[in-house]
């Protein structure tokens, strides 16, 4: 089967959304794209400049605004939705959960209702954080049957949104799929997130900041591998199904930081330890066996250190993209003790 003819990408001007739009334009010439994005602090419209103009349209609006969603679907004859739009940062959700409740829960509900009315295919982009965390020595990894037990306001809203999506499949037969992916890294990631924060700190003459003792483990995947997986679920995934996406990339924060310091020519101890995240998850780990078996997907970026070097290079070459945000991001972190 082929892809949708007009795909609405919510949050298409954010980190993963931008990479996804670029991936679809480059590899799937028969799909037109409508980016639907509120352009919050996390988005940059410039991300989408210079892309094939007759294959992409932009709607600057809120997913919580049902009328705008309805208008966009009708105007562009949308036949599928990939739903990236979210408040995505755990630390922000600890400071103020309100926009997370609104966008991640209510916004997902608005989109599901639109998908139901129009019979659209709907892909819910979710996270491994809905499963809570694992002990450092737990031999198991997360699978499609792991119980939901989110820890933060952010992950609780993502968990709730996943439950809504599943309910729309079960109750109304809306053709929903869900992906729960591990931590993405790569170009266009906001500098509030761990890897770009440390890279841009070093480029700005600020010492990297690591939470607690740096022992927490994240399971890293290159954003392009996540984007290819999402496309393959959208086109070949079974409606009503969930797929976990991961690239066997478990590393402690300290290991990642030491690689960054090494690649950027800094000493191994040139960083500061700062306050840990309240309730911070210890470890995430994904078993991606199902998507590998059922859809034949596999990660292409298998050398994390190489991907990290390319990411460092991208932030070094795109100072204009992030420099304007740096002061405000660091000021906000100082208030939080991070």
- Contacting positions for ligand NAD (CB under 6 A): 10-11, 13-17, 37-40, 42-43, 62-64, 84-88, 103, 107, 125-127, 158, 181, 183-184, 190
Which among ligand NAD, ligand TDX, none contacts residue 63 (Cβ within 5 to 8 A by kind)? ligand NAD
User: What is the chain's length?
Assistant: 338
Q: How far apart are CA 127 and CA 76, in angstroms?
A: 29
> Residue 190 or residue 197: which is nearer to ligand NAD going by CB?
190
Answer for the pair 67, 74: CB distance below 8 angstroms, yes or no: no
Query: Could you give the residue numbers annotated as active site?
Result: 128-129, 154
Q: Which residues bind ligand TDX (CB under 6 A)?
A: 88-90, 127, 129, 183, 193-194, 197, 209-211, 216, 218, 253, 277, 280, 338
Which among ligand NAD, ligand TDX, none contacts residue 210 (Cβ within 5 to 8 A by kind)? ligand TDX
Residue 25 to residues 21, 50, 51: CA-CA distances in angstroms?
Answer: 6, 12, 8
DSSP one-letter code for 103: I
Answer for the pair 276, 212: CB distance below 8 angstroms, yes or no: yes
Which among ligand NAD, ligand TDX, none contacts residue 97 (Cβ within 5 to 8 A by kind)? none
Residues near 317 by beta carbon (within 8 Å), at least 6 away in sequence: none
Shortest Cβ 172–ligand TDX spacing (Å): 27
> Residue 266 or residue 277: which is nearer to ligand TDX going by CB?
277
> Residue 212 or residue 240: which is nearer to ligand TDX going by CB?
212
Residue with tokens 């890293």: 220
- How many C-beta neighbours within 10 Å does residue 149 have? 12
> Residue 58 or residue 266: which is nearer to ligand NAD going by CB?
58
Which among ligand TDX, ligand NAD, none contacts residue 153 (Cβ within 5 to 8 A by kind)? none
Residue 22 token pair: 């670029």
Q: How far apart are CA 124 and CA 141, in angstroms?
A: 22
- Cα torsion 63, 65, 68, 69 to 10°: value is 40
Shortest Cβ 87–ligand TDX spacing (Å): 9
Answer for the pair 180, 147: CB distance below 8 angstroms, yes or no: no
Shortest Cβ 313–ligand NAD spacing (Å): 20
Shortest Cβ 182–ligand TDX spacing (Å): 7
The residue number whose beta carbon is nearest to ligand NAD equals: 14
């Amino acid at each position: 089967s082929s892809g949708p003819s007009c795909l609405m990408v919510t949050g298409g001007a954010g980190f993963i959304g931008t990479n996804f739009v670029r991936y679809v334009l480059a590899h799937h010439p028969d799909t037109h794209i409508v980016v639907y994005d509120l352009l919050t602090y996390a988005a940059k419209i410039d991300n989408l400049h210079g892309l094939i103009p007759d294959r992409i349209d932009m709607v600057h609006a809120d997913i919580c605004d049902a009328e705008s969603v309805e208008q966009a679907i009708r105007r562009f004859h949308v036949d599928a939705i990939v739903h990236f739009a979210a408040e995505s940062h755990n630390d922000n959700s600890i400071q103020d959960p309100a926009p997370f409740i609104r966008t991640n829960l209510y916004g997902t509900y608005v989109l599901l209702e639109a998908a139901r009315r129009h019979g659209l295919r709907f892909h819910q982009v979710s996270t491994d954080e809905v499963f809570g965390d694992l002990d450092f020595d737990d031999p198991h990894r997360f699978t499609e049957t792991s119980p939901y037990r989110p820890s933060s306001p952010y992950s609780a809203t993502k968990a709730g949104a996943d439950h809504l999506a599943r309910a729309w499949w079960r109750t109304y037969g809306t053709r929903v799929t869900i992906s729960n992916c591990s931590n993405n890294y790569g170009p266009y990631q906001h500098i509030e997130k761990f890897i770009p924060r440390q890279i841009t700190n070093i480029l700005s003459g600020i010492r990297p900041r690591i939470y607690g003792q740096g022992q927490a483990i994240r399971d890293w995947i290159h954003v392009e591998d996540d984007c290819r997986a999402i496309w393959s679920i959208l086109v070949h995934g079974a409606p009503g199904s969930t797929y976990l996406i991961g690239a066997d990339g478990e590393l402690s924060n300290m290991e990642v930081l030491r690689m960054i310091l090494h690649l950027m020519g800094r000493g191994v101890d040139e960083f500061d330890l700062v306050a840990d995240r309240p309730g911070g998850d210890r470890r995430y780990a994904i078993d991606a066996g199902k998507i590998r078996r059922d859809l034949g997907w596999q990660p292409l970026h298998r050398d994390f250190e190489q991907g990290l070097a390319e990411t460092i290079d991208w932030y070094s070459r795109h100072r204009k993209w992030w420099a304007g945000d740096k002061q405000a991001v660091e000021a906000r972190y100082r208030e939080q003790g991070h």
